[in-house]
Amino acid sequence: MTTGLGYPKWALAPMALALALLALPLLGLLLRADWARLPALLMSERALAALRLSLGTCLIATVIVLILGIPTALVLARSRGRWATAARTLVTVPMVLPPVVAGLALLTTLGRRGLLGRHLSALGVEIGFTTTAVIIAQVFVALPFLVVSLEGALRSSGQDYERAASYLGASPTRTLLTVTLPMAAPALASGTALSFARALGEFGATLTFAGSLQGVTRTLPLEIYLLRESDSDLALALAVVLLAVAGLVVWLATHFRAWGSHA
């Protein structure tokens, strides 16, 4: 279990505290949940609508993240210089931005009176209050997770195989698809899982930018936030679902990373 290098024994005390700090609130949530009524609660129309919307939008958002994120990570990993550093910073910013700020940013850009939204609106395209707005918010917050984890992997892996492939006559695209990406598969999978989880948890940007209507824009986190006001049992039941999905996704992500380190 331990790697070659040990650790000072005192490190265990803060670690125990850290684990307790992280685990106890989750345990508290699980203990408060009404397990007997959980299935019935989750079968309610409100719960199902939120679940369906959340899973649907997150899947679409994750696909968009992959389409945009993989090439971005590749270019960043293979680039040096000032513009690459600037692009890298730009890509990381949404990761640490408070979600409500992300929502305001989207609103002032894509909203009906926003920088771009104004022109879109003139063309008859309005994004606010639609499921599209939810997906845009999710992509905005989830994309950095894929780019950052994939770029790190691409940068640290050697380029010998790729050089060999190109020497043997493979085109850059073929090299990417048959050599680079398969080698980065663990990082890609773990980055995908993290992006999905981030999209699933997206709250602030959706609330600010997309609104909240059952089946259209009210995702799981928004439904939980609203249910807190009226039906805390159902809010807790949905929180348990979100916790379970998040746990599963993070477990998968760790699993993929471990698989990578054995390869």
Partner 1 sequence: MKRLALVAATLLLAACGQQGATTPSPTTAQQEPAIVFAAASLNTVFPAIADATYSFDGSSGLVDQLKGGALADVFASADKKNMDKAVDADLIDGDPVMFATNYLVLVTPADNPAGITGFDASLDGTKLVVCAADVPCGAATLKAAEANGLTLTPVSEEAKVTDVLGKVTAGEADAGLVYATDAAGAGDKVTVFDVPGAKDDPNTYWIGIVKGAPNKARADAFIATVTGEGQAKLAAAGFGPPR
Q: Which residues contact partner 1 by CB under 8 A?
A: 107, 111-113, 128-129, 207-208, 211-214, 217-218, 222, 225-232
**DSSP conformational letter for 124:** T
Degrees, nearest 5: CA angle 250-243-195: 40
Q: How far is the CB of 128 from partner 1 (least distance, A)?
A: 5
With respect to partner 1, which residue has the nearer C-beta, 62 or 217? 217
Q: How far is the CB of 138 from partner 1 (least distance, A)?
A: 17
With respect to partner 1, which residue has the nearer C-beta, 18 or 59? 18
Q: How far is the CB of 111 from partner 1 (least distance, A)?
A: 5
Nearest to 137 by CA among 88, 67, 183, 202: 202
With respect to partner 1, which residue has the nearer C-beta, 138 or 206? 206
Torsion sign over Cα 154, 155, 158, 164: positive
Torsion sign over Cα 177, 183, 185, 187: negative
Q: How far apart are the C-alpha atoms of 72 and 147, rounded to whole Å?
A: 7
Rg (CA), the chain: 21
Q: How far apart are the C-alpha atoms of 200 and 191, rounded to whole Å?
A: 14
With respect to partner 1, which residue has the nearer C-beta, 166 or 214? 214
With respect to partner 1, which residue has the nearer C-beta, 61 or 110? 110
Cα of first residue to Cα of last residue in the chain, in angstroms, is 18
Q: How far is the CB of 145 from partner 1 (least distance, A)?
A: 21
Q: How far is the CB of 61 from partner 1 (least distance, A)?
A: 20
Q: Is 228 helix (H, G, I), strand (E, B) or coil?
A: coil
